[in-house]
Structure 1
């Protein structure tokens, strides 16, 4: 058990080290020697866990996806209204981009995947499917207009978020990414909110910055 725990810790250290190097240098300019140095492991230990740079890049992408899915599952467990859930998922992803090198590296590698023959459709397909399911539920809940197509909205949200965070990275190194995500929602919400919904779209957009009310259902009082 101790050896297994040590092996897991070494593998995670290698992934973290690889993320730091991939984020800084990109796939093409990264070497396994750089990764071993960043992870503070020997080349032998690195090759024990990963046979090639391609395998290592794939592991970083998989870890990035795992972290984002973990956040999404936690938010889904809150049983909030579906539209609030969508916005909070975008918020969580944005915070990961600010705080987590593995997520930043995974995103960079996703856009460089043709360099190492990696198929990166699955994370995007998963994200679009989740957004579409939530959009359909929000329409049933009466928060999104009946005329809005859930699948089309899902594709638009994913594409918009992707573009917003990329431009933020180019212009500010993502220093303003949370403000830009909130801005995205402030622009989008008035066009999809149901006409008879009594709430304020700007408050929903404020969920990104934490200024909007988080509608977590209160537990029922004991009988």
Structure 2
């Protein structure tokens, strides 16, 4: 058991070190020597867990996806209103980009995946599916207009978020990413909100900047 725990800790250290290196240098310029130095492990220990730089890159992408999925599952388990949940999911992802090197590295590697294999589609497909399900629920709850195509909106949201965080990364190192996500929603909401849903779009978009998410079971005022 002690050896298993030690091996698990070593693997986690390698992934963390790889995330730091990939985030800074990208896949093409990163080296396994840099990773072993960042993780403070020997080359032998690194090769025991990962046979190649490609294996390491895929492990970082998997870790990024695991972190985001776990955060999403926690939020969705609260079973709050659907439209605010969509906004809060973007908020949660934005905060992970700010605070989690593995998430930043995973996003960069996802965009660079053709350098070491086929495009990485799974994380995007999963996120689109969640947003589509939430849009369907928001339509039933009369928060989103019934005329909105749920799949199209889900794809648009994921594409918009991806572009917003990328531009924020280029211009400010993501220092303003939460503000940019807030702006994204403030522009989008007036065009999709149901006519019987009387929440202020600016109030909803500011959920992105809220220090604490809406509590479990919180109701957003709407007309039946």
Q: Output the TM-score relative to the length of structure 2.
A: 0.95
CA contact under 8 A between 2:88 and 2:213: conserved in structure 1?
no
Distance 1:174 1:3 in 2: 39
Aligned length: 218
CA contact under 8 A between 1:138 and 1:144: conserved in structure 2?
yes
The corresponding residue for 2:140 is 140
The corresponding residue for 1:192 is 192
CA contact under 8 A between 1:204 and 1:212: conserved in structure 2?
no
Distance 2:211 2:48 in 1: 47
The corresponding residue for 2:3 is 3
Distance 2:212 2:8 in 1: 40
The corresponding residue for 2:27 is 27
Counterpart check, 1:52 vs 2:28: no
Distance 2:196 2:213 in 1: 20
Distance 1:201 1:103 in 2: 29
Report the 3-state secondary structure (helix = DSSP H, G, I; strand = E; otherwise coil) of the residue aligned with 1:38: helix
The corresponding residue for 2:204 is 204
Q: Output the TM-score relative to the length of structure 1.
A: 0.95
Distance 2:66 2:148 in 1: 30
The corresponding residue for 1:12 is 12
1:136-194 deviation digits (Å, cap 9, x = unpaired):
01000000001101101000000000000000001000000000000000000000000
Distance 2:89 2:10 in 1: 30
Change (3 A) 1:213 1:27: closer
The corresponding residue for 1:128 is 128
Deviation for aligned residue 1:119: 3.6
The corresponding residue for 2:91 is 91
The corresponding residue for 2:43 is 43
Distance 2:59 2:118 in 1: 11
Q: Which consecutive segments of 4 or more residues in structure 1 shift more than 3 A?
A: none
CA contact under 8 A between 1:17 and 1:35: conserved in structure 2?
yes
Counterpart check, 1:155 vs 2:184: no
CA contact under 8 A between 1:82 and 1:134: conserved in structure 2?
yes
Deviation for aligned residue 1:118: 4.0
Structure 2, gaps ≥5 residues long:
219-224
Structure 1, gaps ≥5 residues long:
219-223
